Amino acid sequence: MRRIRIFDTTLRDGEQSPGVNLMGQEKIEIARQLERLGVDIIEAGFPITSEGDLSAVRAIAREVRTPVIAALARTHTADIEAAAKALEAAAKPRIHVFTSFSAVHLQYMLRKSEDEVIAMSVASIEAARRYVDDVEFSGQDAMRSDPAFVFRAIAAAIAAGATTINIPDTVGYTTPEEFAALVRGVREKVPGGDKVHISVHCHDDLGLAVANTLAGLAAGADQCEVAVNGIGERAGNTSLEEVAMAIATRKDFFQMETGIDAKEIGRTSRLVSRLTGMPVQPNKAVVGANAFAHEAGIHQDGVIKERTTYEIMNPQDIGQGETQLVMGKHSGRHAFQKKLQALGYELPEAEQHELFRRFKALTDKKKQVTDQDVQSLVEDEIYRFDDSYELVHYHVSSAGGAPSTATVGVSTQSGAASGKVTREAAVGQGPVEALYRALQRATGLEADLKDYAIQSVGGGSDAQGEVRCSIAYVGQTFVGSGVSTDILEASALAYLHALNKAAAVRAQAARQHPTGREAI
C-alpha cells in the first residue's frame, strides 16, 4: 500500500469560494477538526493578502500541532516573509511558493518570459528554504502549459530546494489520461523528480477533479490537494471525502491508503458547511443527505435484507450514521452527557450545562429528539464566537394582503452598554423582512440580506428548522445560522449570528481607527 498524503486547502482555496468569509476563530475550529480528521497538511491561508489571514495562520500554527501547516506565497520577497512570519510558531511549517506556467498567464498576468519565471521561482524557493526545510512549489495552469517548459521549471525548482512539487490543473481543463501522463513525465523525466513528493491539485470545472486526482495518484503522485465538500474557486476543488473514500473503498484497486479517520468525515462536512454557509447538495457523494437514502422499492427491500446489496460504504463508518431516536422528556443530564460523548463532543462543564437546558426546552416541543437534533444544537451553541448581541424576545404579526410587523428585544453582551436591552419594531413585505429590519435597527447595523435558506433537521412535522443566511455589510459577506422548532426564531437567530460577525469586524476597525474616519 502506498501512503498518500492529504493536503487540505479548505482554509485557503476553499475560502476563495464566492461569498465565503471565515472569521479567525472559525478558521481555528476548522483546523482543529481537520487535525481530528487526520489530514497530513493544512494550508491555513495566504498571509500576505491581509492582516486577518496572517493572524489566522499564526493562530493555527500555534494551536494545531500534528499536521504540517502550510502558508501560500507568490514569488515575491514580501509574500515569503509574511508566510515565514505567520509560521514562526508552527511545529511543522511549510511555505508553498507558486507561480504560473501557461503562456496565457505569463503574457497577461505575470508579463514575464519563461526564463524570468524560472529565475523568480528559484530565488523564492531559496529564500523560503532559509526559513523552513519544507518548501512546496506550484506552477498554476500546468495542464494548459508547454510540457517542455513545465519540466524545465520543475527541474530548476527541485535543484533550488523544493521538497514537494505540486501540479495544479487550475482551470479544471485536463482529463485523467493527460494528467497521469504529465505526472509520470515529472517522475520519470525531470532530474530529481523521483526524489521529491509530487502533489496533484485539481479544480472541478468539468466535474473531473476527483477522477483526475485519482489518476494523478495512480501515476505516481503521493500527495493530493483537496477541500472539504469540494469547495473552492468557481466549481471548487477536489472533494476530500470523495477521494478519501474512493481510496478506502477501492483499496483492492488503488493499493493506496491515507491517514484519514473516516468516522470524522460527517462532522467535518457539517462544520465546514455551517461555517462557510455553503450547503451540501443532497445528492453529493459521501456526505449528501441522500447519499445513503434508498427510494426505489427494490432497493429498499434489498437493503433491509442485506445492507451491502445497494451500499458500498457503511454510513456509520463515515460518521453519517442512521438517525437514532435518542431521548425525550424524561431523559436526564447523565444520559445527555453520554450522548454528547458518543457523538464525539468533549465540551466544558458550562457548555454542557447550557446545552442540557436547550435540550430540555426542545423536548417540550418535540417528542423524539434525534442524533441530528443534538448535533444541530451543539453546533449551533459551540460555533458562536464574539457574540455582541443576543435575542431576548421577538414577536411577528403576519396576515395575507397586509404588510408584516415585527418587534424585537436584543441585549448587548459586551462593552459599556453590557446588559442593556434595545427594543425596536419594523414593517416588511413578509415576516422575515419585518424581523430583519427590526434587528437592523436594534443593532444599528445596516446589512443587506444576500441569501436565505431553510432546511428541516430530520423529518416529521415537529422537526426543527435550520436557517442559513448571508449578509453584505460594508463590502464584506458574513454568514449566520440558527436552529429552532419555530422557523421565525431560527430566522432571527441566523440573521443575528451574521450581524454579530459584522459587529466584531466593526469593533475591530474602531479599535484600529479610533477616530472613526477610516472605520469600515
- Phi (first) and psi of residue 392, to 5 degrees: -100, -45
Contact 13, 232 (CB under 8 A): yes
Closer by beta carbon to ligand KIV, 92 or else 96: 96
384: contact with ligand KIV by CB under 6 A: no
Closer by beta carbon to Zn ion, 29 or else 233: 233
Closer by beta carbon to ligand KIV, 114 or else 371: 114
Closer by beta carbon to Zn ion, 201 or else 506: 201
- Which residues contact Zn ion (rule: CB under 5 A)? 13
Nearest Cα to Cα of residue 11 among 46, 62, 58 = 46
201: contact with ligand KIV by CB under 6 A: yes
Closer by beta carbon to ligand KIV, 168 or else 480: 168
170: contact with ligand KIV by CB under 6 A: yes
State the DSSP string of 42-107: EEEE-GGG-HHHHHHHHHHHHH--SSEEEEEEESSHHHHHHHHHHTTT-SSEEEEEEEE-SHHHII
Residue number with the smallest Cβ distance to ligand KIV: 168
Please give the distance of CA 352 from its chain centroid, rounded to a whole number: 25
Q: What is the strand order of the sheet 404-412 is part of?
A: 389-397, 404-412, 421-428
State the burial class of residue 255 (Cβ atoms within 10 Å of its Cβ: 0-12, 13-18, 19+).
exposed
Nearest Cα to Cα of residue 57 among 41, 68, 73, 46 = 46
State the DSSP string of 433-460: HHHHHHHHHHHT---EEEEEEEEEESSS
Contacts for 457 with CB less than 8 Å, ≥ 6 apart: 370, 372, 373, 376, 463, 464, 465, 466, 483
Closer by beta carbon to ligand KIV, 67 or else 168: 168
**Bridge partners (DSSP) listed for residue 457:** 464
Work out what residue 121 binds among ligand KIV, Zn ion, none; the CB cut-off runs from 5 to 8 Å by kind: none
229: contact with ligand KIV by CB under 6 A: no
Footprint of ligand KIV on 235-274 (CB under 6 A) = none
For 483, the grid coordinates are: 436552529
Shortest Cβ distance from residue 168 to Zn ion (Å)?
A: 6
Contacts for 241 with CB less than 8 Å, ≥ 6 apart: 228, 229, 265, 268, 269, 285, 286, 287, 318
Amino acid code (one letter) for 436: Y
Footprint of ligand KIV on 85-144 (CB under 6 A) = 98, 138, 140
R_g of the chain, CA atoms, integer Å: 25
Closer by beta carbon to Zn ion, 141 or else 380: 141
Shortest Cβ distance from residue 168 to ligand KIV (Å)?
A: 3
Considering only residues 6, 10, 11, 13, which one is a binding residue for ligand KIV as defined by CB under 6 A?
A: 13
Shortest Cβ distance from residue 482 to Zn ion (Å)?
A: 32
Work out what residue 412 binds among Zn ion, ligand KIV, none; the CB cut-off runs from 5 to 8 Å by kind: none
Closer by beta carbon to Zn ion, 124 or else 170: 170
Residue number with the smallest Cβ distance to Zn ion: 13
Shortest Cβ distance from residue 263 to Zn ion (Å)?
A: 28
Work out what residue 98 binds among Zn ion, ligand KIV, none; the CB cut-off runs from 5 to 8 Å by kind: ligand KIV
Shortest Cβ distance from residue 104 to ligand KIV (Å)?
A: 13
**Bridge partners (DSSP) listed for residue 98:** 74, 138
Which among 162-170, 331-339, 422-430, 509-517 is the span making contact with ligand KIV, rule CB under 6 A? 162-170
Instruction: Enumerate binding residues for ligand KIV (CB under 6 A).
Output: 13, 98, 138, 140, 166, 168, 170, 201, 203
